Structure 1
Amino acid sequence: MEKFVKVHVMHTGDVKYDRALAFKELDVIPPVNQRGEEYQELVPVSCYLIEHPNGRIVVDAGWHEDIRTQPKEHFGEDLNQFIEYRLPEGRSVREQLASKNITPQDIDAVVMTHQDEDHISGLQHLIGAKRFLVSEPEWRNCANFKEKWYKGISFEAFELESIPFGPYNLGKDLFGDGLIYLVFTPGHTDGHVSVLARVEKGWLLLVSDVGYAEKSWKELILPGNTVDEQQALESLQWVQYFSQRSDCVAAIANHDPSVRPVSY
C-alpha cells in the first residue's frame, strides 16, 4: 500500500510591507507605508503541520503572541519600521495546534526553512517538541541578535546530503522513506530549504521564501532580499520547473495572499 503524508496550511497572522521586499524592484527596500498604499502588500505568515506515518512535523513558527502586546520589545526598533504585523486571537501556532488537541510534546520535529524573523518569531511556543532542525549553512550564518528567540531550544544543524530533488540535488530525506524532503534552495538566505511532501495526489512543494507568490517563479522575480542572486535565481528556476511537473499537486509560497488555510 502506497504511503503518503497529510499537510495542513496554517496562517499565523499577517504582515504588511513595501512590495519591494517581496518582489525585487529597488536597490533599497523602503520602510512600510513610505511609498504610499499602492506599493504595499498585506500577506499571510504561514506555517505548516505535516502528519507523517512516523510522527508530526511543524514547518516554521509564525508570529509570537508577544506581538499583540509588546511588538517593539519583541522585534526591536529597526525591524519595527519596515513591517506592520497582526496576530488575531486563536491564530498563533500554539493556539492552532491546541485547537487540534496537539501539544508541543506531540511534535516529533520542528523544521525551520530559514531564520528570518517571521519564520522564527513563534519558536518558543513549540518548546517541548522532540527535535528542532535547521540546515547547517543556515545555522552557521545566523545573526547573533536572533539568539533571544532560541532560548530554551537546542537545534540540530543537519548536513546536506545527496537527494533526487532541488537545484543542487542537496538536502535531507527527513525520515529516510522518500515522503518528506528538505530541499536545499539557497539564495534568499545561505541555507534556505523548501519542503517537498508526498501527499495523496502527488508532490506538494512548500516553497517558503524562494519566491513570495506564484508570480515569482512564473516570471522569475527574485525576492527583494537575497544573499546570492545567482543561487536565488537557480532556486527559483527549479521551483518553476518542478511546479510544472504533472505530479506536482501545488507549489505554495509562505506569503502568497491567494493561498488559503487548507489541507492536502
Structure 2
Amino acid sequence: MGYIDYVILTHRDTDHVSGLYLIKAAKNVLVSEPEWIAANKPSVRYKPKMRKEVNVKPFKFKPTDIGPQRSSFDLFENGSVVLVLLLRVYMLILERYRRHTCTSPKVLPK
C-alpha cells in the first residue's frame, strides 16, 4: 500500500473511518483542524481505535475568495488541488460542544 500519496478525510465519524487502518501506509492522511480537534474528544461519533496506527495530520482552511464559506486549503500550494470548505454546520456543532464541555476557550479556533 505504499503507493498512496494522499488521503483526504472530510470527517472522522466511526462509520466512515472503520477501514482507515487499511491505508496506514499512505504517505499523507489529512483532515481539517476543526475535525481533528473534535475527533480527539470523547464522543460516540469518534473512536480512538479507528485511528490506531494511522498518522492523520490536521490542515487549516485559510480565508480566501473560494467557495461559499470563502475558506480553502491549497494542498500543493500551486492551485492544482484546492480543498474548499462548503459547509460550516460542523463548526456550529463544534462550537456548541465547546461551550458545554471545554474548560479552556483556546481549544477551538474561532
**Superposition TM-score, scaled by structure 1 size:** 0.31
**Paired amino acid for 1:139:** W
Q: SS of the counterpart of 1:105?
A: coil
In the TM superposition, structure 1's runs of 4+ consecutive aligned residues that sit over 6 Å from their partners are: none
Q: Distance in 1 between matches of 2:88 and 2:70?
A: 15
**Superposition TM-score, scaled by structure 2 size:** 0.69
* Corresponding position: 1:128 with 2:29: no
* Corresponding position: 1:176 with 2:77: yes
* Corresponding position: 1:119 with 2:20: no
Cα deviation for residue 188 of structure 1 reads: 4.3
Match of 1:141 in 2: 38
Q: SS of the counterpart of 2:2?
A: helix
Cα deviation for residue 121 of structure 1 reads: 1.6
Match of 2:58 in 1: 157
**Could you give the per-residue CA deviations for residues 105-139 of structure 1, whole angstroms, max 9, x where no partner exists?**
11111110111233212111101000110111111
Match of 1:227 in 2: 93
What's the C-alpha RMSD, in Å, of the aligned pairs?
Answer: 2.1
**Could you give the per-residue CA deviations for residues 228-258 of structure 1, whole angstroms, max 9, x where no partner exists?**
8xxxxxxxxxxxxxxxxxxxxxxxxxxxxxx
**Paired amino acid for 1:113:** T
Q: Distance in 1 between matches of 2:58 and 2:21?
A: 18
Instruction: Considering fraction of residues, name the structure with more strand.
Output: 1
Q: How many residues align?
A: 90
Match of 2:102 in 1: none
**Paired amino acid for 1:175:** F
Q: Percent identity?
A: 36
In the alignment, is the contact (CA less than 8 A) between 1:114 and 1:134 conserved in 2?
yes
Cα deviation for residue 186 of structure 1 reads: 3.3
